[in-house]
Chains A and B, each alone.
Chain A
Amino acid sequence: DQQVKQNSPSLSVQEGRISILNCDYTNSMFDYFLWYKKYPAEGPTFLISISSIKDKNEDGRFTVFLNKSAKHLSLHIVPSQPGDSAVYFCAAAPTESGTYKYIFGTGTRLKVLA
């Protein structure tokens, strides 16, 4: 049972345009969400997070939007750069349950075309 879903395995975007990566979750206990970026032969790198008390969090070119009613979050990258080409994973965690694990999606491979 995939509790965190990234339905687009890949995405191609022109340099300078906006990249939008989507993530859906099913467990209403999730209240903390993160995005990680992964380059080949490296471990995932933390990008940005958002708590369920917010609906938007911004860090430079990266903005995460959270729609709790739809159980949906998205990562916007503006403007996209060739160096952003990587696999992006969203992750979710329930902060109140006493468990400390992240549940990851299967990732979306972003390719930014120069």
Chain B
Amino acid sequence: DSGVTQTPKHLITATGQRVTLRCSPRSGDLSVYWYQQSLDQGLQFLIQYYNGEERAKGNILERFSAQQFPDLHSELNLSSLELGDSALYFCASSVEASSTDTQYFGPGTRLTVL
């Protein structure tokens, strides 16, 4: 158990809908990262927050947005969903925001868009 929690574990929805994925980092971690893993692909970095502020952005679609709240939990919002958004979404956390800080991953949310 990494100490990072993600809810829900599974989500099934229809095209055009909007969903929110939630992540609680390990106690004491200030940085939260979101990754997407599509079928047979590596983990693609989406976005990073550090202590409530956006720190780095990857190939995140405009239909996707995220935020980190004062209690440090984070939410990833996916809107106007398309079939291609079906994937595993992982959240990770680290103590600080350096590349050499080990990122600890949650169990992921499996999103299925029908």
Residues of A within 8 A of B (CB): 4, 6, 32, 34, 36, 41-46, 49, 51, 89, 91, 93-95, 99-107
B2 adjacent to A100 (CB under 8 Å): no
Interface centre among A41, A91, A102 (most CB of B within 10 A): A102
- B69-110 interface bits toward A, Cβ cutoff 8 Å, 1 = contact, 0 = none: 000000000000000000000101000011110111111100
Assuming the contacts A41-B107, A44-B105, asked whether A103 and B100 have C-beta atoms less than 8 A apart, the reply is no
Determine if A4 and B42 form an interchain contact, defined as CB atoms under 8 angstroms apart.
yes
CA–CA, A89 and B90, complex, Å: 14
Smallest beta-carbon distance B54→chain A, Å: 11
Given contacts A43-B108, A100-B55, 18 further A-B contacts (CB under 8 A): A34-B102, A42-B107, A44-B90, A45-B2, A45-B105, A46-B102, A49-B100, A89-B43, A93-B99, A95-B99, A100-B33, A100-B97, A100-B98, A100-B99, A101-B33, A101-B99, A104-B35, A104-B42
User: Which of A41, A49, A100 has a CB less than 8 Å from the CB of B31?
Assistant: A100
Instruction: State in angstroms the CA–CA spacing of A95 and B98 once bound together.
Output: 7
Q: Which of B45, B100, B104, B105 contacts A101 (CB 8 A)?
A: B45
Q: Which residue of B lies closest to A44 (CB)?
A: B105
Q: Is B58 an interface residue (CB 8 A)?
A: yes
